[in-house]
Amino acid sequence: MQDLNDIYYFVQVVELGTFTAASKALGVAKSQLSFRIARLEENLGVRLIQRTTRRSHVTDIGQLYYQQCLQILAAAQQAQNVIEEAQAAPRGRIRVGCPVLFGQLLLAPALVQYLRRYPDVHVDVDTCDHDADVVASGFDIAFRVRQSVKDSSLVVRSFGMDPQMLVASPALLKQLGRPQRPKDLKRLPSVGAVSTEGRHFWTLIGPDGRSIQVEHHPRLATDDLHLLFQAVTGGIAMAQLPAWLCHDAIGRGRLVPLLGAYTLPPGNVHAVYPSRHGHTPAVRSFIEFMAAELPRALQVLQRAPEGRYEELEAAVAGCA
């Protein structure tokens, strides 16, 4: 078996035309280069390059051998690429932040499939219903369910829409009356998400496409979606909630949709992360996997009654 470096040196001499030119290009002494080619010729038992004091000439057998050497070097590079690609396969630990219900209903089934596909990746998931600082918390990626994310320091990627609706319990409406117009909403107590601005508004889009803002003053403000749901079904107040969370309760008569002629701007499932560049293979693979799986999982969840995890898990598993 010939030394692959000797073969490489021979190819360089042929392509660059002289030992002097190859010596300069390779950073190898001309005498050392001549010695390596001579050793290659001795091992092969043929003359590959005829040398005189003035010039070098590749022999006929040298030309044929050169063509084969090109294939050998190409194959060696392909073999090296295999190793480099294997070393670049997703591995290591990534940190993910997300809201609690998002983690339970959307992320969990997709995450199971991701971990099956990439056994060398370890994922730390921090479920928290407030918007933790992505950089300060050390998250590689975090999920937000908002109409928009305004932090210009983060990369934002949208994964799908989350339709919203206004709902209240039958008991509350029996006591205080069912609103017929947006201004009637002020008669009802409310609960809602925490507002960093200190004021709370619902934005309603009428049949004519015009937007109306209605200010409300929630008795309970929290980013815990399940807590809001319990407060509304318990008759404490009305709220804006994701449509998928309300379907089953509406069907069972526990909730009543309000102002059916009006719609609310949908929430948007966002992934946020610090930079577009410099991601590890694990982080890149996680982002791309979730970009493919979460929109489908969201659609399934919007069709599934509250609590029916089996359909969602089966649908996401079928994508893997």
CATH number of 4-87: 1.10.10.10
Per-residue pLDDT tens digits for 45-97:
999 998 876 778 899 998 999 999 999 999 988 888 777 665 678 888 999 98
pLDDT, averaged across the chain: 84
Determine contact, residues 253/141, Cβ cutoff 8 Å: no
**What is the percentage of the chain residues whose pLDDT exceeds 90?**
37
pLDDT at res. 281: 86
- Domain ranges in the chain are 4-87, 92-162+268-317, 164-265
H or E element that contains 98: strand 92-98
- Alpha carbon 68 to its chain centroid, in Å, reads 44
- Residue 144 scores a pLDDT above 90: no
- Assign domain 164-265 to its CATH architecture: 3-Layer(aba) Sandwich (3.40)
Are 199 and 193 within 8 A, CB to CB? no
For residue 282 the two structure tokens come to 């694990």
This prediction has a pTM of 0.57
Q: 270-309 pLDDT, tens per residue?
A: 888 887 666 788 888 998 899 888 888 777 777 655 444 4
Q: Write down the H helix ranges in the chain.
A: 4-16, 19-26, 30-44, 60-87, 100-101, 108-117, 170-176, 225-233, 243-251, 281-303, 309-317
* Residue 255, pLDDT score: 93
pLDDT of residue 151: 59
User: Do 164-265 and 92-162+268-317 fall under one CATH topology?
Assistant: yes
- Bridge partners (DSSP) of residue 269 are 145, 160
The single-letter DSSP state of residue 169 is -
CATH number of 92-162+268-317: 3.40.190.10
Tokens of 170: 């039958």
pLDDT of residue 82: 73
Angle at Cα 22 formed by Cα 17 and Cα 23, nearest 5°?
A: 140
